[in-house]
Structure 1
Amino acid sequence: MTASGTAGAADVCIVGSGPAGAILAASLAGRGHDVVVLEAGPRFAFESRTARMDRALRPEHDDLDVWDMGGPRDRYTSSGPYEYDLNRHRVKGIGGTTLHWGGMTPRLHPEDFEMETRHGIGRDWPISYEDLEPYYLRAEEAMGVAGEPNRFSGPRSGPYPLAPAESSYSDEIFAEACSSLGIELVPKPLAINTEPYDGRSQCVGYGTCSPVCPSGAKYDASVHIRKAEERGARVVTRAPVQRLEHDDSGERVVAAVHATPDGDTRRQRARQFVVACGAVESIRLLLLSTSPQYPDGLANSSGVLGEYFMEHPGGGLVGRVDEPTRQHLVGYGTSMCEQFYDHDSGPEGSFLIDFGNNAGPEPIDLALEQLSDSGRIIAGDVLAPFEGDPWGDALQERLSEEYGGYLRCNGWVEQPPRRENKVSLDPSKTDDHGNPVPDLTLSFDGPESVILERVRDLCREILEECGATEIHGHWSPDDPYVGSHHMGGIRMGRDPAESIVNAELRAHDLSNLFVSSSGVFPTCGAANPTLTIAALTLRLADHIHGRLSDG
């Protein structure tokens, strides 16, 4: 690539337009600051979402097709014991992975910030739940979270902005069984509108929330990119940042060097820089930004950049009951259980239980795999199942029999941070710009394997109480499902010798470089990370605004 110039200096340059980058850009631009956002991927037209839903439903497409993932741009390797599917649930483009997410938004619990002090696990966060709580509330308002306070979560200073979703029919079956077992279910907090909110419609029931919401009722970060642009921010798409450059002293970042679609490069200057492109790509960008002062990666004087990476392992059990369960009327479950989100029974870790609303074989799979005419369907003869049954009554009856009586119970487990779980660079494989790709080394053979066994047993007990039979599911402690929640690797802390950023998310080594990502989490709890990312970002926005205002 050839250099093609240097853009004028902005107040803030943000790398990435997912929830962190988008919310930060909207907040700072709204307070009069000159903001530039550099996004590696494209801008997706809202009108394309019905077509993307169609891709999600058709068997000739896979998960990557929905949001145009895959290929040289998105290469990675997985060299650890666990074969990690990095691209399965991530998106590169305006809105980032919130275009694909399920919308679940629980808060971390107060003890999650003090795991070293309380249980000798990992390192304490340099901030407390009380420090973050008002920003949790602001994040819920910004995203439009529908929920209801419950006694198992941390204290709140205000209500949710929206009432919780009405309990699904299948969740009512679970509620009765759990009540008999002394297990308390609570409404699942979801960034999905239960009524019109912030210019977006309420949920209309497409049922494909993950991977795509055609109505826009589910929050995604394109909402805040739009707000940021309305407030004057400049958003540059198809501009993957290749490296960050610092001054001669190594104390300040001076430019973000990004590629352009025509093969050139440009340098974006700014007073403050924020890396907000997801945990894995944020780690990778810092590792790629080497110099004589930082031979092991920018801001990596501690040598721990990329280490202590974490995920949420888990699994699901499915059982069949002798009654309709009305699955997939909406694309999300409405209830969860935080009752076991504690360490009273030992230091293995905490966990969440939630309940799927799409259990059992997919109707498409039934049509393709079980009907005698499946080959003709694949060949394009969509009328094959209806021959001799022009109204499709027999097919509907069969689908009802095969699909209508399933229940799913899921569990998600905290993974304690371990140094050997990490993101590094693989120089043997490169992306479309010739840069080493990220390599993930991950295993689940620590304390989380013990708690996974416990969660599996609890899910089985709940399903049996529901009267379910034929209980089955993939649940192996050494080969679990993962939540595709990328956390750690750029951890925050007070000690520069063992962390990358401080309590304000500023790199210990540089005075104007910040990271806003779940990569900064010192420990991960069992709660989905997106709401905490948003809360940390709003806190960071206040901090950067203060710095810029002070000159």
Structure 2
Amino acid sequence: MTRTPVAGADVCVVGAGPAGTIVADRLAASGHEVVVLDAGPRFDPDDRLRRQERSIRPSFSRPDVWDGDADRDAYTSSGEKGYPLNHARVKGVGGSTLHWQGMVMRLHEDDFNSRSERGVGVDWPIDYADLRPQYAEAERELGVSGASDNPFAPPREEPHPMAAFPPSYSDSLFAEACEELEIAMHSVPNARNSESRNGRSACVGYGTCQPVCPSGAKYDATVHAEAAERRGATVIDRAPVQRLEHGLDSVEAAVYATPDGERHRQEADAFVVACGGVETPRLLLLSESEHYPDGLANSSGLVGKCFMDHLFAGMGGRLGEPTRQNHVGFLTSESHQFYDDADETVGPFKLEFFNYAGPSPVEMALTGDDWGDDLLERLRANYGDHVGVGALVEQLPSEDNYVTLDESRTDDHGNPVPEIHWSLDDRMRRTIERANEIQRSILEELGADITWQVGSENTGPAYHHMGTTRMGTNPDDSVVTPQLRTHDLENCWLAGSSVFPTGGAMNPTLTIAALAIRAAEAIDASL
């Protein structure tokens, strides 16, 4: 394809993940000339079955499934815990929605008012009511299957676009134990089709949702990239933006490289940076100048600061009876019962009842060296009776956790790579311990033999990068306004989870989509 700049562009969007493509689609629908630049390739949808096969073979690591590149994607990690950035990110049109699990919950009302209601963190400059209309639109845009059976969820204005997926067989086993313990279970809203919709099939049960959905039933951002192109937008892949050229109060051009070694300047009236919680601050820091010696849009000094993720707590084992594990590749039941008990000592968390604990028969067959009757005996002995309960746990914003530039190491274009400095706090550890207590009570009530636990000592991230360009009303302690325009530059907006002041404990993509719609409305009004 031609990767030359688009003349007369109204809007240049950097990043073709869910935030960037939703903004692009919305603005193209309003008649604006839009160009989208993405660092990675455009993946051929006909290759998804091949990628699925790759994903289940033990000789391939997870980044191999979506063509990770060690030089292009180089990074460093420091702090208390090493951060495995490349384990769960995709550079390319569609972004990390190409391999996400697809759960889409709204933040709870108290998540927007953490300082006021829980005594920790900060308050958002908007509340749940402000974002409620965009949440409903985001559910329609992504195509969400869900039900209004969660008594702990924030108020809704209308049903989900599609019916929820029914509880799995293992959910029914958990339900018996939870009923005894007076723990409420409810359905999980999923951005995957429970019925055919908008030219995409219903889920056909491949079970490899993470990291690849061959059928296209699970939403990914190529849906909005293609919709934006149908409306006249231009999407340019393999065009990593090297820096944003700017004056004192506005961005003038995005300088990007192409595979043939050329560099181009894409000019536009408005710019949207939507590269995620790591690459967005990195690009701003790479765009330093005499006007902004500490990085573009960084008069507050907070670009890259307050990096957050969700932490995982989990426990599981074997039940000694069939559980039909791995028959469903995503979650169908959760519990938010303990979420709003959060205060300054213990944070919010949600419980997740796994449909995919334990190895699948394919994984077992591909990791052994036995054949015939020996293989069949091993499969019968080790498959089909596993159970597991997980949890997502909030991490509070702290300036001690940050994304910066590592000047000692460069990527394939000679730019300093991102350095992630990441540590854990005591509140998060106490929350994980509380989640483990409840998980243990459920598994013991179920009669399971507990064989593994992920607690505060061996926890890891959910790969939800948030908080590095937070929104606020005061330019001294935030990077963007409540409309997601940078305080420092009149024509530059930031879209994505980097603008979250706090992260709550809900998967962030629905909030990313809702805020992208909010940003698109503000940009449209400004043009």
Tell me which interval the TM-score lies in, with the shorter structure as reference length: over 0.9
Give the equivalent residue in structure 1 for 2:94: 95
Matches within 5 A, 1:46-61: 46-61=45-60
Tell me, yes or no, if the aligned pair for 2:326 and 2:360 is still in contact at 8 Å.
no
1:279 aligns with 2:274: no
The separation in 1 between residues aligned to 2:342 and 2:74, in whole angstroms, is 42
Letter in 2 for 1:39: D
Q: CA deviation at 1:270?
A: 0.5
1:501 aligns with 2:480: yes
String of CA shifts for 1:339-364, please: whole Å, max 9, x gaps: 11113565421001101111123435
Q: TM-score, normalised by structure 1?
A: 0.93
Give the equivalent residue in structure 2 for 1:544: 523
Give the equivalent residue in structure 2 for 1:422: 402
Letter in 1 for 2:341: H
Tell me, yes or no, if the aligned pair for 1:82 and 1:479 is still in contact at 8 Å.
no
Change (3 A) 1:283 1:344: closer
1:188 aligns with 2:188: yes
Letter in 1 for 2:46: E
Q: CA deviation at 1:479?
A: 3.5
Q: CA deviation at 1:12?
A: 0.6
Tell me, yes or no, if the aligned pair for 1:105 and 1:191 is still in contact at 8 Å.
yes
Letter in 1 for 2:473: R
Change (3 A) 1:134 1:400: farther
The separation in 1 between residues aligned to 2:296 and 2:11, in whole angstroms, is 18
Tell me, yes or no, if the aligned pair for 2:242 and 2:286 is still in contact at 8 Å.
yes
The separation in 1 between residues aligned to 2:293 and 2:506, in whole angstroms, is 35
Matches within 5 A, 1:70-149: 70-149=69-148
Give the equivalent residue in structure 2 for 1:381: none
Please, which of 298, 317, 320 is the counterpart of residue 318 of structure 2?
320
Q: Secondary structure at the match of 2:371?
A: helix
Tell me, yes or no, if the aligned pair for 1:9 and 1:268 is still in contact at 8 Å.
no
String of CA shifts for 1:187-215, please: whole Å, max 9, x gaps: 01110110001110000010000000000
Give the equivalent residue in structure 1 for 2:61: 62
Q: CA deviation at 1:151?
A: 1.6
The separation in 2 between residues aligned to 1:533 and 1:367, in whole angstroms, is 39
Q: Secondary structure at the match of 1:315?
A: strand
Q: CA deviation at 1:5?
A: 8.0
Tell me, yes or no, if the aligned pair for 1:444 and 1:477 is still in contact at 8 Å.
no
The separation in 1 between residues aligned to 2:8 and 2:59, in whole angstroms, is 46
Tell me, yes or no, if the aligned pair for 2:120 and 2:343 is still in contact at 8 Å.
no
Contiguous gaps of at least 5 residues in structure 1:
375-383
Q: CA deviation at 1:116?
A: 1.3
Q: Secondary structure at the match of 1:400?
A: helix
The separation in 1 between residues aligned to 2:343 and 2:23, in whole angstroms, is 39
Matches within 5 A, 1:103-502: 103-149=102-148, 150-247=150-247, 250-343=248-341, 347-367=345-365, 371=368, 374=369, 385-386=371-372, 395-469=375-449, 471-502=450-481
Q: Secondary structure at the match of 2:426?
A: coil
String of CA shifts for 1:499-543, please: whole Å, max 9, x gaps: 100100000001000000100000000000000000000111111
472-481 or 215-224, which moves further after superposition? 472-481
Tell me, yes or no, if the aligned pair for 2:303 and 2:479 is still in contact at 8 Å.
yes
Give the equivalent residue in structure 2 for 1:31: 30
Give the equivalent residue in structure 2 for 1:378: none
Give the equivalent residue in structure 2 for 1:377: none
Tell me, yes or no, if the aligned pair for 2:314 and 2:455 is still in contact at 8 Å.
no
Matches within 5 A, 1:502-521: 502-521=481-500
Tell me, yes or no, if the aligned pair for 1:444 and 1:479 is still in contact at 8 Å.
no
The separation in 1 between residues aligned to 2:156 and 2:6, in whole angstroms, is 44
Q: Secondary structure at the match of 1:427?
A: strand
Whose radius of gyration is greater, 1 or 2?
1
String of CA shifts for 1:428-465, please: whole Å, max 9, x gaps: 11000000000001111331111111111111111111
Letter in 2 for 1:165: F
The separation in 2 between residues aligned to 1:60 and 1:528, in whole angstroms, is 30
Tell me, yes or no, if the aligned pair for 2:56 and 2:363 is still in contact at 8 Å.
no
The separation in 1 between residues aligned to 2:4 and 2:40, in whole angstroms, is 21
Letter in 1 for 2:456: P
Tell me, yes or no, if the aligned pair for 1:139 and 1:531 is still in contact at 8 Å.
yes
Tell me, yes or no, if the aligned pair for 1:146 and 1:161 is still in contact at 8 Å.
yes
The separation in 2 between residues aligned to 1:66 and 1:315, in whole angstroms, is 26
Contiguous gaps of at least 5 residues in structure 2:
none
Tell me, yes or no, if the aligned pair for 1:7 and 1:267 is still in contact at 8 Å.
no
String of CA shifts for 1:23-51, please: whole Å, max 9, x gaps: 11111111111100001111001000000
Q: CA deviation at 1:8?
A: 2.2
Change (3 A) 1:476 1:205: same
Letter in 1 for 2:179: S
RMSD of the alignment, in Å?
1.5
Tell me, yes or no, if the aligned pair for 2:101 and 2:211 is still in contact at 8 Å.
yes
Change (3 A) 1:397 1:478: closer
The separation in 1 between residues aligned to 2:384 and 2:513, in whole angstroms, is 38
Q: TM-score, normalised by structure 2?
A: 0.97
Tell me, yes or no, if the aligned pair for 2:118 and 2:342 is still in contact at 8 Å.
no
Change (3 A) 1:425 1:474: farther
Q: Secondary structure at the match of 2:391?
A: strand
Q: Secondary structure at the match of 2:164?
A: coil
Please, which of 522, 529, 533 is the counterpart of residue 501 of structure 2?
522
The separation in 1 between residues aligned to 2:275 and 2:345, in whole angstroms, is 32
String of CA shifts for 1:84-118, please: whole Å, max 9, x gaps: 10011110111000001000101101111111122
Tell me, yes or no, if the aligned pair for 1:308 and 1:419 is still in contact at 8 Å.
yes
Identity of aligned residues (%): 53
